[in-house]
Amino acid sequence: MAIAKPADSYRHQGLRKLLVQNIRAKGISDVQVLAALETVPRHFFFDSSFLEYAYEDKPFPIGAGQTISQPYTVAFQTELLQIRRNDKVLEIGTGSGYQACILAELGAKVFSVERQKTLFDRTSKFLPVVGYPSIKTFFGDGYKGLPAYAPFDKMIVTAAAPYVPDALLDQLKPGGILVIPVGANEVQIMTTFTKNPDNTFAKKEYGAFRFVPMLEDKAKEL
């Protein structure tokens, strides 16, 4: 059965404007990031039974033990990435595909890895339907990155990493930025690693967040 594109409405557009105002009030100032959040219909990524929750600034379960991130968190991580048009971006944790669409709206070339097969199957078919055929999705272990497509200008991890995978650091271009929530407990520290020309890294921390765990699996090499 073909997947139908969900409907957008003036009501949904109004709710997105209110959501963006809320996120701006919380400190997100990048106008392009805010514009992307106002453009991408978050309710597209919700089951029709839960549309009333789509424009709350909260995470929400999407199945397979995963969540669609809180819009503020999406905006925060995206702002840290400092996306420029045509940046080659690796996303670890496709999930619903919402974060990937935000990156694509900013002009990034998005490569996204998902380890949950049910989510991968659903999202890889859904993204072209809602207008994002350029996003490349892969099923596999995010700890390994995507060596066949490296190096990347930017990387974003959308799950709690107990440690920073060396493979991701190795696949980052000099001058590139990795945004990753680090911590093995219930609360993680949002962290950026910027790669220097000599392959060392400048590390910065940005406070506490909560993510579902980033799990390794035994998928074949990508």
Task: Give tens-digit pLDDT for 125-139.
Answer: 999 999 999 999 999
pLDDT in the model for residue 219: 41
- Do β-strands 60-63 and 109-114 pair in parallel, antiparallel, or remain unpaired? unpaired
pTM of the predicted protein model: 0.94
Catalytic (active site) residue 69 = yes
Residue 147 lies in a domain: yes
Mean predicted lDDT score pLDDT of the chain = 93
Q: 183 in helix, strand or coil?
A: coil
Residue 81 lies in a domain: yes
Task: Tell me the mean pLDDT in the region 7-21.
Answer: 95
The CATH number of whichever domain residue 195 belongs to comes to 3.40.50.150
Q: How many domains does the chain fold into?
A: 1
- Candidates 9, 29, 49, 69; catalytic one: 69
The whole domain housing 111 covers: 57-209
Task: Give tens-digit pLDDT for 63-120.
Answer: 888 899 999 999 999 999 999 999 999 999 999 999 999 999 999 999 999 999 999 9
Residue 21 lies in a domain: no
Residue 214 lies in a domain: no
Question: What is the separation, in whole angstroms, between the first and last Cα of the chain?
Answer: 28
